[in-house]
Homo-oligomer: A and B are copies of this chain.
């Protein structure tokens, strides 16, 4: 793919696209990852490629729930690792929670590639300066984030086959799970097990969007940067979140954009 001019109005979106194409070539992503990315692009386009007010509220709510969780975990698939891995490592460092690699089309090779990718990103992030307003030893905080997933020693009760596989110390044990780009079935089962599921999905009509405890309808890397701010600020409280009405508000935003 050609260079993207600095002035291009959709530069950020085109860079993400390039990142996904390159990660696919390196074998980090499943066959259909690019298709999933394209679907996301279309929904983001309809949202004006920016974080809406209601998305901000949902990220704030998610921050509050992650902070007050007993065992929070951030579950990442290939696309999320590639697009927002660094930002989510920062969030995990602040929360001091593990990140679990959990992919739909599970192969040993991709799990290892993603594990190595995230460990490298961890090293890179550990060398950054402290994030704004965060106090402490950043290097230590980052390097203590565990990247789970490869041990495959946990199970999600109620699912069959490879999709049931998870990490005992991660999703199995967790009371609050942040899962970008989750599949609908799994989201439903996780909720039925009494876990709080915070889903990031650009499609407000998807089954996971409807099943989640809190749905963040936003592009995953924008979301992750904001989430970092909110978990550092730690100013928000868990509310009685009405996810259905939040989704309706998002649909209204798309409708209004279409009407303009």
Interface on A for B, CB 8 Å cutoff? Answer: 1, 17, 20-21, 25, 31-32, 34-43, 45, 203, 205, 251, 254-255, 258-259
A207 to chain B, nearest CB (A): 12
26 A-B pairs within 8 Å (CB atoms) are namely A1-B31, A1-B32, A20-B35, A21-B32, A21-B35, A25-B31, A34-B35, A34-B38, A35-B41, A36-B38, A38-B38, A38-B39, A38-B40, A38-B42, A39-B39, A39-B41, A39-B42, A39-B45, A42-B43, A42-B203, A205-B258, A251-B258, A251-B259, A254-B258, A255-B255, A255-B258
Q: How many copies does the complex hold?
A: 2
Q: Look across to chain B and name the residue whose beta carbon is closest to the beta carbon of A33.
A: B34
Q: Which residues of B contact A31 (CB under 8 A)?
A: 1, 21, 25
- Report the Cα distance A4→B38, complex, angstroms: 21
Select one of B35, B36, B203, B255 contacting A259, CB under 8 A: B255
Q: How far is the CB of A22 from chain B (nearest CB, A)?
A: 9
Chain B residues whose CB sits within 8 angstroms of the CB of A251 once the complex forms: 258-259
A36, chain B: closest CB distance, angstroms: 6
CB neighbours (8 Å) of A41 from chain B are: 35, 38-39, 42
Cβ contacts under 8 Å, A35 to chain B: 17, 20-21, 34-35, 37-38, 41
Residue of B nearest to A250 (CB): B258
Give bound CA distance, A232 to B259, whole Å: 36
